[in-house]
Structure 1
Amino acid sequence: MAPTLRLEILTIERKLFDDEVNMVIAPGAEGVLGILPRHIPLVTLLTYGELQVKKEGQDDQFFAIGGGFMEVQPDHVIVMADSAERDEEIDLDRAEAARKRAEERLQKAREDESFDAARAEAALRRSLARIKVARRRRRDHVRGPRREQ
């Protein structure tokens, strides 16, 4: 059996995940981070994106992460996300509508300084992360899930 580490994914509202896993792939502010058991201690900023969880003998699990922090210890990872959703919780139609609204607000912000461009950009990044994760679920449902070892 491959070595494991405990992963917790937390938001202010709930504990989304708490289990032993083999690997965590997270959207770090400086790039994608792959965390394996016995990783050196680390605290890092997370950005909007897809968090992937690998567990031996099971299909990979995917989460849309809306920024936050990740604390890594050799046998334990805690993700403290500003927002996080499991792939099956994401409504693709609503995520697409949110993307469209964010793009419209961003365009208005370019034309009118009274609109908050940073907020529109954050909404766009969040909606794109949600869409990516939801589309992966839909694609895997049609083709069948992939098990990555």
Structure 2
Amino acid sequence: MADTMQFDLVSPERSLASLQVSAVQIPGADGDMTAMPDHAPIITTLRPGVLRVESPNSTAEYVVSGGFAEINATSLSVLAEKAIPLNDVTRAHIDELIEDAQAAHEAAKEQFKNEPGMVDDAAKLLADMVALGDHIKV
């Protein structure tokens, strides 16, 4: 078993990380998970939360608003909708994420009046954004 795996974190704006890691805690849409070397192959969606990256020399945390993670035995790639190093997150960042989620919820309520699935998904996203702000206490 290898001690590390390649980790890449990218968002539409930029590449945030590319390094060898020993573990990454992922806020998966179906629950939190930890990816480590020799992990079974999987692709999962992300929910808003904190992505924690553990490398042999350091630990880093990033706030992600959603996206996808592709995991295999030797690498992990995270394609985030938005990603910000946790230390750089301000209340303004969280407020912007919440505003975007509120707008998506309102649009879903208008467009899908008799189809609660999409409205429920938008409401869940909004609740996740509010909870994220409470969790990181900014």
TM-score, reference length from structure 2: 0.73
**Match of residue 7 from structure 2:** 7
TM-aligned CA distance change 1:40 to 1:120, over 3 Å: closer
The answer as to 2:125 corresponding to 1:122 is yes
Alignment deviations for residues 47-71 of structure 1 (CA, whole Å, 9 cap, x no partner)? 111110112242x211111111100
Query: Shift of the alpha carbon at 1:28?
Result: 0.6
CA offset digits 1:8-55 (Å, max 9, x no partner): 001111111111111000011110011110111111111111110112
Number of residue-to-residue matches in the alignment: 127
Q: Helix, strand or coil: the match of 2:92?
A: helix
The 2-side partners of 1:132 and 1:115 are apart by 31
| Misfit runs of 4+, over 4 Å | 95-103, 113-121
Letter in 2 for 1:76: S
Q: Secondary structure of 2:63's partner?
A: strand
Find the counterpart in structure 2 of residue 89 from structure 1.
88
Q: Structure 2: which 5+ runs fail to align?
A: 113-118
Structure 1 residues 124 and 89, CA, compared in 2 at 3 Å: closer, same or farther? farther
Give me the TM-score of the superposition, normalised by structure 1. 0.68
Where in structure 1 are there 5+ consecutive unaligned residues? 139-149
Matches within 5 A, 1:33-52: 33-52=33-52
DSSP 3-state at the match of 2:65: strand
Identity percentage of aligned residues? 21
Residue 44 and residue 61 in structure 1: after superposition, are their counterparts in 2 closer, same or farther (change >3 A)? same
1:130–1:18 CA distance, 2 compared to 1 (3 A)? farther
Counterpart residue identity of residue 129, structure 1: L
What is the CA-CA distance between 1:119 and the residue it aligns to?
A: 5.2
CA RMSD of aligned residues (A): 3.1
Cα offset for 1:73?
1.4
Query: How many angstroms apart in 2 are the aligned matches of 1:119 and 1:30?
Result: 16
The letter of the residue matching 1:63 is Y
Q: Residues 47 and 39 from structure 1, CA distance in 2 versus in 1: closer, same or farther, beyond 3 angstroms?
A: same
Match of 1:143 in 2: none
Amino acid at match of 1:79: V
